[in-house]
Structures are given as C-alpha cells and as structure tokens.
C-alpha cells in the first residue's frame, strides 16, 4: 500500500510527459501542414484546442481536483511550443552599419535588384591595371566578410580597380521576394552590374558560390561577352547533375577540431531551430510563414556557422582560425541561400553550353578544400577556355585567410593570370590529370 501512491504518481507523470510530447509532435506536424501560418499561431491555437478537448474528455466523470490532471500536458506543451511562435529579434530588416574603411554605395540594377557596392580604387603609386576587377563573394546570400575586404584592399594595392557587391538579401543589399532568389537571377544581376559599371568587359573573381555564378555566366553567351577574364575559385556544384555527385573533398579540414564557436546562436532558440531545421529538411519552403525573411537574416549569427567556418581551413590551422568577420558586419540568409541552391539542383546540365565558352579562365583549387573535388574538376572538364589550374597548397576553402603569406600567394596567382604572366605554380591538375587527381585524393 505504501508503494501504491508513488507508483500511481509516477505513472501519471509518465503519461503526462507522453501526452505533452504527443501534443508537441502534433504542433510540429501542423506547422508543416499550415506552412507556419501567422508566425506559427495557427498551429499553436489548433494544438491548444485539440489538447483542451482531449483533456475535457479524459477528465469526464472524475472528481475535483482529478479533473485537472489531464490539463497538465496541455499546459506544458502550450508553454513549450509558444516559444516557437514568439520572435526574439526584429521582424523588419536590420542592416549592418557601414564599414569604417570603405564607403557603401547602393546601386539599383536593371533586374530590379538594389545592391550594396564597394569600390577599392588602385593604390597611389601602384601600376594601374587597365581592366576593372569585380569580386563575387560566397554564401551565396551573405555579406562580404571583413577578411574578404582585406584581401580586396590588397588587390587594390597592386593596382587593380576593384569593385564588389553583395548579392540581394545579403549584407547591406535589399531583400527580394523569396521566389526571385534563383541562380539565373544571380547571373542576370552580374550582367546588370557590369552594365551599370559601364567600363566595358571586366575581369571577374568568383569565390565559392560566387564561382558558381561566374561559371554559369560563362555558359551564357550574352553574359560571357561582358567578362574579359574569369577566375573560378573553389566552385560549388555548377548544375543539377554536378550537385548529385557525392565524392570526396580535399585534404582534411579543421571541421571537428577547431574550438567550439562562442557567442549567441539562433539555432539555440526554439523558434529559429525549428524554422531553419524544417526548411533544411525540405518540410517547410524557404518562404515559410513561420518567420519572415528579414527576421531570419536578423537572427542568424556567426557562431551558427562554426562548423562550416572551421571546414574552410586546413586541420593544421584548427587552433588558429582567424576571426573572419565582426558581429556587426555579419549577415547570412539561410532561407534565400537554400532557395538558390535548390534552383541549382533543379537545373539541367550546363556542360554543353560551357564547352562553347571562349572567355579565358583560371581555376583555383585549395589543398584542404571542403568542396567535393568533382564539383571543381567538372568545370575544368567542361570549359575548354580554362587555361590554367592553380592547386593552392597549405590552404583550405577560404584561400585568402590572412594566415602566414596566404593572401599574398593568392594575389600573386591572380595577378599572374590576369596579366598573362607565367603562373607561380605549375598548371595542375590539367584535364589529363583529372582521373589521377581524384584517384590520389589530392
């Protein structure tokens, strides 16, 4: 008899927990079914109503206070799931403040995009290069990091007239309607930017996601004519068939070895953990009603990308990964980036068009690249205008990372190609080397 009461209480607690878990599962299912309508309130109110009805049914015929027990899981689930419906950051776009070392311009492009623009003119006394250089950053929809800005200043110090713009939705650029984030729109924006610059064909340096935009631009004749020379640095998958490749990356990176990131993380907040998790799983569309696009951009912090950041460095650099950005300058749109990546996955092969490219190009590959090697070699195999490949030893995906002499080595490789000078490194891998390069896991 002495054990009867505790066992009965334990049994009730177990049933209460299971019921609360069930209601939470129902809430998540309704979030998916309602597309997170009204910031999740539609799912929350429906779940609450269903829980109350179930509690009343379970409590029928019981005496007070026994009738209250069925409401315990309802209250617990309501409190837990309510946190998914309450924004903790502003729901209107909060733009980063201007950087202290470069002016921020804003250009309205013919595509309808309004983008933040940065200009680094050639340094006084440096040999002036005749062709402007345009930088396409990675992301795809994020701000240009302070680390990248430092590299652009280095290039300007060597005489280049450097321009960079943040793609719509990232950094200080204006947002687009979610359905307008496509890889083809990114290519059109590049063409419109070059037209707005109005200085004739330009040299273009595309890094990571920016390299994908550049590769697809070279496969689009009407855009390729605007490009004088192209540098494709560490590209991701260029089309749907390439995106399906699940090969090996480069030499080991610092992922899993670097110290855990510090600072606030959106993924530790239930609302954003649920929203971004369901979007990444494909259970919610990038334009979900659960969170606004602006709120999603405001919520994500640099620490949320800790593992991805570490994967951009060699394992030997795990203990000295530099601060790539400041908290004030960091900007990343998870939803818009996933939307663009999906349009790449859904696109047909661009290899037939790329085989007709005539724009002189160079491919840059990092030794410790986190990119699948076949994503990079696919460009080399398809584009006959790739004149040289530079395999960069001792660096990860983020090749100009401020460590040692990495920035200068990358700048030397870029300068040699743009000026038609002998390459600092041997041309490797060539098209004939691709099979051995992949087999040897270089």
**331 and 268 share one domain:** yes
- Alpha-carbon distance 233 to 205, whole Å? 7
| Helix or strand (DSSP H, E) at 393 | strand 386-396
Instruction: Report the mean per-residue pLDDT for the chain.
Output: 93
Extract the tokens encoding 106: 């804003």
**16 and 121 share one domain:** no
Extract the tokens encoding 360: 């002189």
The DSSP string of 24-66 is HHHHHHHHHHTTTGGGGHHHHHHHHHHHHHHHHHHTTTPPTTG
> Is 92 within a domain?
no
Residue 102: band (very low, low, confident or very high) from pLDDT cuts 50, 70, 90: very high
Given a cut of 60, whether residue 3 has pLDDT beyond it is no
**113 and 65 share one domain:** no
| 90-94, 137-141, 209-213, range with greatest mean pLDDT | 209-213
Q: Answer for the pair 96, 329: CB distance below 8 angstroms, yes or no.
A: yes
> Is 156 within a domain?
yes
* pLDDT score recorded for residue 260: 82
Given a cut of 70, whether residue 43 has pLDDT beyond it is yes
Given a cut of 80, whether residue 188 has pLDDT beyond it is yes
**228 and 190 share one domain:** yes
**11 and 130 share one domain:** no
**68 and 146 share one domain:** no
Q: Is the peptide bond before 58 cis (omega within 30 degrees of 0)?
A: no
**N-term to C-term CA, the chain:** 71
**What tens digit of pLDDT does each residue of 62-93 get?**
666 666 767 888 888 899 999 999 999 999 99
- Alpha-carbon distance 176 to 103, whole Å? 23
The CATH number that applies at residue 320 is 3.40.50.1820
Given a cut of 90, whether residue 147 has pLDDT beyond it is yes
**251 and 307 share one domain:** yes
- Alpha-carbon distance 328 to 331, whole Å? 8
**77 and 114 share one domain:** no
Describe the strand order of the beta sheet including 114-120 as a list of residue ranges: 105-108, 114-120, 162-165, 133-136, 202-207, 227-233, 361-368, 386-396
* pLDDT score recorded for residue 61: 64
> Is 98 within a domain?
no
Per cent of the chain over pLDDT 70 is 94
- Using the Cα atoms of residue 399, residue 104, residue 183 and residue 38 in order, give the sign of their dihedral: positive
- Alpha-carbon distance 293 to 297, whole Å? 6
* Residue that the structure tokens 């690249």 belong to: 369
> Is 97 within a domain?
no
Measured at the CA of 283, the angle between CA 189 and CA 141, to 5 degrees, comes to 25
pLDDT top residue among 17 and 277: 277
28: containing domain: 4-82
Per cent of the chain over pLDDT 90 is 81
**What tens digit of pLDDT does each residue of 322-374 get?**
999 999 999 999 999 999 999 999 999 999 999 999 999 999 999 999 999 99
**398 and 434 share one domain:** yes
> Is 95 within a domain?
no
> Is 315 within a domain?
yes
> What does DSSP say about strands 105-108 and 114-120: parallel, antiparallel, or unpaired?
antiparallel
Given a cut of 50, whether residue 1 has pLDDT beyond it is no
**147 and 212 share one domain:** yes
**42 and 139 share one domain:** no
> Is 305 within a domain?
yes
* pLDDT score recorded for residue 233: 98
* pLDDT score recorded for residue 2: 46
Q: Is the peptide bond before 65 cis (omega within 30 degrees of 0)?
A: yes
Distances (CA, A) of 100 to 97, 148, 168, 318: 9, 15, 22, 29
**181 and 317 share one domain:** yes
DSSP state of 262: -
* pLDDT score recorded for residue 7: 62
How many domains, in total, are found in the chain? 2
Q: Answer for the pair 204, 227: CB distance below 8 angstroms, yes or no.
A: yes
CA-based nearest residue to 376, from 187, 232, 246: 232
């Amino acid at each position: 008899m002495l054990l009867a009461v505790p066992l009965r209480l334990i049994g009730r607690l177990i049933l209460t927990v299971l019921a609360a878990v069930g209601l939470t599962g129902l809430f998540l299912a309704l979030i998916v079914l309602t597309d997170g309508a009204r910031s999740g309130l539609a799912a929350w109110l429906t779940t609450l109503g269903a829980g109350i009805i179930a509690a009343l049914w379970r409590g029928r015929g019981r005496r007070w206070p026994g009738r209250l027990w069925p409401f315990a899981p309802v209250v617990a689930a309501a409190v837990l799931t309510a946190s998914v419906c309450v924004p903790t950051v502003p729901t209107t776009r909060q733009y980063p403040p201007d950087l202290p070392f470069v002016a921020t311009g804003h250009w309205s492009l013919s595509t309808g995009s309004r983008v933040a623009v940065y200009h680094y003119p050639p340094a006084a006394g440096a040999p002036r290069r005749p062709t402007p250089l345009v930088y396409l950053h990675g992301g795809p929809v994020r701000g240009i990091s302070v680390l990248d800005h430092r590299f652009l200043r280095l290039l300007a110090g060597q005489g280049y007239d450097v321009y960079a713009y943040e793609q719509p939705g990232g950094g200080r650029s204006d947002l687009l309607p979610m359905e307008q984030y496509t890889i083809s729109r990114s290519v059109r924006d590049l063409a419109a930017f070059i037209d707005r610059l109005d200085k004739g064909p330009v040299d273009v340096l595309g890094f990571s996601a920016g390299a994908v935009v550049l590769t697809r631009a070279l496969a689009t004749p009407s855009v390729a004519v605007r490009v004088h020379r192209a540098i494709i640095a560490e590209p991701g998958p260029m089309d749907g068939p390439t995106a399906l490749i699940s090969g090996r990356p480069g030499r080991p990176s610092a992922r899993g070895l670097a110290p855990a990131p510090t600072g606030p993380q959106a993924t530790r907040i239930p609302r954003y953990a649920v929203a971004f998790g369901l979007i990444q799983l494909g259970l919610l569309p990038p334009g979900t009603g659960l969170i606004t696009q602006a709120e999603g951009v405001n919520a994500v912090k640099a620490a949320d990308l800790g593992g991805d950041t570490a994967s951009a460095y060699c394992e030997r650099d795990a203990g000295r990964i530099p601060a790539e950005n400041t908290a004030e300058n960091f900007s990343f749109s998870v939803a818009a980036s996933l939307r663009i990546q999906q349009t790449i996955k859904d696109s047909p092969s661009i290899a037939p068009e790329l085989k007709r490219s005539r724009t002189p190009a160079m491919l840059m590959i990092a030794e410790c690249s986190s990119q699948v090697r076949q994503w990079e070699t696919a460009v080399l195999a398809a584009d006959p205008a790739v004149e040289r490949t530079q395999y960069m030893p001792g660096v990860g995906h983020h090749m100009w990372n401020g460590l040692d002499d990495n920035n200068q080595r990358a700048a030397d490789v870029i300068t040699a190609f743009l000026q038609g000078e002998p390459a600092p490194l041997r041309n490797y891998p060539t098209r004939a080397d691709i099979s051995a390069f992949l087999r040897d896991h270089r």
